[in-house]
C-alpha cells in the first residue's frame, strides 16, 4: 500500500497534526483505545510525532507516523476488524518536565481467527508510551506493546527453532 500524498487527506501528516491530543499523559492510552475501537488508523497515527517509533508485540519496529498509520490500517482491516481494546491499570512517571512514560494494561478481545487458532481468546497486553507535552497536548514519541504471558518469566528458542514462553521457577535442573 502506498502512502497517501494528498496533504489534506486522512492519514497524511497534515491531518494528524491537527487532531485533538490528550490534555494529560494518562489520556494517551484512552485516546489510543478509542481510535482502535473506532477502526481509525488516522486517529492512532495522530497521537504520534512525525518521527515516532512503535514496536509491536512481535518486535516489528515502525519508525515514523506514516508507517505506524499504515501498519494499524492493515491490522485493523485484516487482523482486528471486530476487536475491542479496553484500558485497565495506568501508571504515569515523569522523568522531567514535559515528558511522561505511560504504562497501561489493556485487554484485547475479538481478534480474527487464523488457521493456527480458529477461536482466538482474550489477550492481555502492556503498552508503554513515551509522551511529550507540546502545543495542543501530549503526543507520543515512542510506544511498545508487549503481550502478557501468564505463568511465564521469559521466552526460550528451542532446538526446533520455535520461540515459546517458559518459567524457570518450575524447572528442577537436578531432574
Half-sphere exposure of 116 (CA within 13 A, CB side): 1
- Counting the structural domains of the chain, the total is 1
Residue 174 lies in a domain: no
Residue 119 lies in a domain: yes
Give the CATH number, domain containing residue 70. Answer: 3.10.450.50
Q: What pLDDT shows up at residue 3?
A: 30
Contact between 164 and 156 under an 8 Å Cβ cutoff? The reply is yes
Residue 126 lies in a domain: yes
> CA separation (Å) from 140 to 24, 31, 62, 73, 110?
12, 11, 13, 18, 26
Q: How far apart are alpha carbons 27 and 14 in whole angstroms? A: 22
Q: What pLDDT shows up at residue 37?
A: 98
Could you tell me which residues come within 8 angstroms of residue 137 by beta carbon, excluding any fewer than 6 positions away? 20, 21, 22, 23, 27
Please name every residue paired with 163 in a beta bridge, in sequence order, or none if there are none: 157
Residue 164 lies in a domain: no
* Per-residue model confidence as pLDDT tens for the chain (175 residues): 223 323 333 444 445 667 899 999 999 999 999 999 999 999 999 999 999 999 999 999 999 999 999 999 999 999 999 999 999 999 999 999 999 999 999 999 999 999 999 999 999 999 999 999 999 999 999 999 999 999 899 999 999 999 999 998 876 666 5
Residue 46 lies in a domain: yes
Query: 41: domain range?
Result: 20-150
Q: What pLDDT shows up at residue 14?
A: 42
Residue 5 lies in a domain: no
Q: What pLDDT shows up at residue 18?
A: 72
Residue 159 lies in a domain: no
Residue 117 lies in a domain: yes
C-alpha cell at 124: 492481555
Total-model pTM: 0.86
Q: Which has the closest alpha carbon to 36: 132, 166, 143, 114?
A: 143
Amino acid at each position: 500500500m502506498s502512502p497517501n500524498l494528498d496533504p489534506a487527506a486522512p492519514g497524511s501528516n497534515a491531518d494528524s497534526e491537527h487532531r485533538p491530543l490528550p490534555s494529560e499523559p494518562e489520556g494517551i492510552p484512552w485516546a489510543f483505545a478509542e481510535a482502535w475501537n473506532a477502526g481509525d488508523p488516522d486517529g492512532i497515527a495522530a497521537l504520534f510525532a512525525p518521527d515516532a517509533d512503535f514496536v509491536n508485540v512481535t518486535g516489528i519496529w515502525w519508525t515514523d507516523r506514516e508507517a505506524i498509520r499504515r501498519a494499524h490500517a492493515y491490522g485493523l482491516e485484516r487482523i482486528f476488524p471486530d476487536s475491542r481494546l479496553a484500558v485497565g491499570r495506568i501508571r504515569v512517571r515523569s522523568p522531567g518536565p514535559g515528558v511522561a512514560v505511560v504504562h497501561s494494561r489493556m485487554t484485547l478481545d475479538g481478534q480474527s481467527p487464523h488457521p493456527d487458532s480458529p477461536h482466538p481468546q482474550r489477550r492481555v497486553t502492556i503498552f508503554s508510551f513515551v509522551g511529550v507535552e507540546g502545543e495542543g497536548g501530549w503526543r507520543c514519541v515512542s510506544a511498545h506493546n508487549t503481550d502478557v504471558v501468564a505463568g511465564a518469566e521469559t521466552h526460550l528458542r528451542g532446538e526446533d527453532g520455535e520461540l515459546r514462553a517458559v518459567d524457570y521457577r518450575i524447572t528442577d535442573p537436578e531432574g
